[in-house]
Amino acid sequence: MNLPGDFRSDTVTRPTAGMLRAMAEATVGDDVFGDDPTVTALQTRAAAMLGVEAALFVPSGTMANQIALLAHCRPGDDVLVGEGSHSYLYEGGGGAALAGVQFTLVGEGGLFDAADLLAAVKGPDASGHAPPTRLVMLENTHNRGGGRVWAPGRFAEVVAAAHSRDLAVHLDGARLFNAAVATGLPASTWAARVDSVSFCLSKGLGCPVGSLLCGREVFIRRAHRYRKMLGGGMRQSGLLAAAGLYALEHHVGRLADDHRRAQRLALGLALLPGLQIDPARVETNIVIAVLAAGAPAPAEFCNAIGPAARALPFGPRAVRFVTHLDVTDDDVDRALMAAESVLREGRGP
């Protein structure tokens, strides 16, 4: 019997045999003392790939973003983010609780342009009423936007506008390598314009845990302190860093397979009654479909197709499918057949 394909997220991947072997053979030390050679090698490799001075290995993308807020901002500052951004919705209120910042939402669907940004900037006023805008956070690809990729020209214009107002720019690149593969532009092209950037190892790259925060040497020195403050200083973490090194060597190029499968899934779903989806908007590995009136509710739909494919309710009427290292062409076929059974025939697979 086939197990259901797990489309809930690209965080559900399991280490491959090669990755497990690299982890088992890793040379380790105490990274808090700076003595873990495998962590050092990962940080050096990440910095080189992004074309920046330094990088810091942290347990999660959420911690990377929270460290960026702490390092760039002061309590009471304003941070501009796209609608539906990860830092605004999915980090447990950490921006307010830990960095003491407030968020201002800009644009629609996670993206915005330079005019939107400039209109949202709050400058210091004589009476002190307005919290000064200090930072702009961009997300590429954008999760709630359906894995959307920033157009390179638009991205450059937004960053230039931010810098023209003396604002720092942090790139939440949890799926940055998906953007790189989709556009053909290396990750360093995106990183070159911003002041700091993070990317996840534990999503499309298939590692069990970990993210990298990258930027200038002086920024990463500050980030070290905040990593310790947040409890992210790990000891013999070379076991985890070895997985990251393996992923950067072996799992970046194959992201194109995930994009291809996501597009095939979107095209199939678009043919079914009761689902609304534009395959042209599926740019990477995330497929978001809206269930029309009269179709099952998202949780009901996900439960019904569950024996064949696991998907995620994603709002009042939407469901999300994410392709990744552990999703095969057969999994896509079974997901489509299950969805058709539920929507056309009103029964489970």
State the Cα–Cα distance between residues 219 and 223, nearest whole angstrom: 6
Same domain, 211 and 306: no
Same domain, 283 and 166: no
Tokens 């997985």 correspond to 243
Q: Is the peptide bond before 38 cis (omega within 30 degrees of 0)?
A: no
Residue 66 lies in a domain: yes
State the Cα–Cα distance between residues 290 and 143, nearest whole angstrom: 15
Looking at residue 85, which CATH number applies to its domain? 3.40.640.10
- Average of pLDDT values for 330-345? 94
Residue 12 lies in a domain: no
State the Cα–Cα distance between residues 9 and 323, nearest whole angstrom: 7
Whether the predicted pLDDT of 347 surpasses 70: no
Higher pLDDT among residues 127 and 114, named by residue: 114
**For residue 245, is it left (φ>0), alpha (ψ between -120 and 50) or beta?**
alpha
Tokens 């298939």 correspond to 206
Higher pLDDT among residues 2 and 142, named by residue: 142
Instruction: Give 129's pLDDT tier (boundaries 50, 70, 90).
Output: confident
Residue 57, amino acid: F
**215 within 8 A of 28, measured Cβ to Cβ:** no
Whether the predicted pLDDT of 340 surpasses 70: yes
Same domain, 84 and 200: yes
- Average of pLDDT values for 148-168? 97
Residue 6 lies in a domain: no
Same domain, 260 and 245: no
Question: What residues does 211 pair with on adjacent strands?
Answer: 58, 200
Which of residues 184, 218, 249 is at a domain's end? 249
**Cα–Cα separations (whole angstroms), residue 314 to 142, 145, 301, 317, 324:** 14, 11, 12, 7, 18
Looking at residue 306, which CATH number applies to its domain? 3.90.1150.10
Same domain, 100 and 217: yes
Q: Average the pLDDT over each of 52-61, 118-127, 185-194 and give the range with the smallest value.
A: 118-127
Which helix (H) or strand (E) segment is 335 a member of? helix 329-345
Instruction: Give 1's pLDDT tier (boundaries 50, 70, 90).
Output: very low
Residue 206, amino acid: G
pLDDT of residue 125: 76
Q: Would strands 78-82 and 133-139 be described as parallel, antiparallel, or unpaired?
A: parallel
State the Cα–Cα distance between residues 283 and 57, nearest whole angstrom: 28
pLDDT of residue 345: 73
Same domain, 36 and 151: yes
pLDDT of residue 16: 96
pLDDT in tens, 290-299: 999 989 999 9
pLDDT in tens, 241-285: 999 999 999 999 999 999 999 999 999 999 999 999 999 999 999
Whether the predicted pLDDT of 148 surpasses 90: yes
Instruction: Give 232's pLDDT tier (boundaries 50, 70, 90).
Output: very high
- Average of pLDDT values for 145-153? 96
Three-state DSSP at 204 gives coil
Residue 42, amino acid: L
Instruction: Give 127's pLDDT tier (boundaries 50, 70, 90).
Output: confident
Instruction: Give 2's pLDDT tier (boundaries 50, 70, 90).
Output: low
pLDDT of residue 128: 77
pLDDT in tens, 202-225: 999 999 999 999 999 999 999 999
Phi, psi of 81 (to 5 degrees): -135, 155
Same domain, 33 and 54: yes
Whether the predicted pLDDT of 197 surpasses 70: yes
State the Cα–Cα distance between residues 209 and 207, nearest whole angstrom: 6
Which of residues 230, 249, 268 is at a domain's end? 249
Same domain, 218 and 187: yes
Which of residues 214, 249, 284 is at a domain's end? 249
b/e map 188-204, b = 16+ CB within 10 Å? ebbbebbbbbbbbbbbb
Residue 10 lies in a domain: no
pLDDT in tens, 30-51: 999 999 999 999 999 999 999 9
**Of all residues in the chain, what percent carry a pLDDT higher than 70?**
98
Q: Please count the other Cβ atoms lying within 10 Å of the Cβ belonging to residue 303.
A: 16
Whether the predicted pLDDT of 349 surpasses 90: no
What is the model's pTM? Answer: 0.95
Provide the token pair at 198. 């993070």
Domain that holds residue 137: 17-249
Same domain, 315 and 231: no
b/e map 276-301, b = 16+ CB within 10 Å? ebeeeebbbbbbbbbbeeebbebeeb
Residue 184 lies in a domain: yes
Same domain, 243 and 263: no
What rounded mean pLDDT belongs to the chain? 95
Same domain, 69 and 114: yes
pLDDT in tens, 303-336: 999 999 999 999 899 999 999 999 999 999 999 9
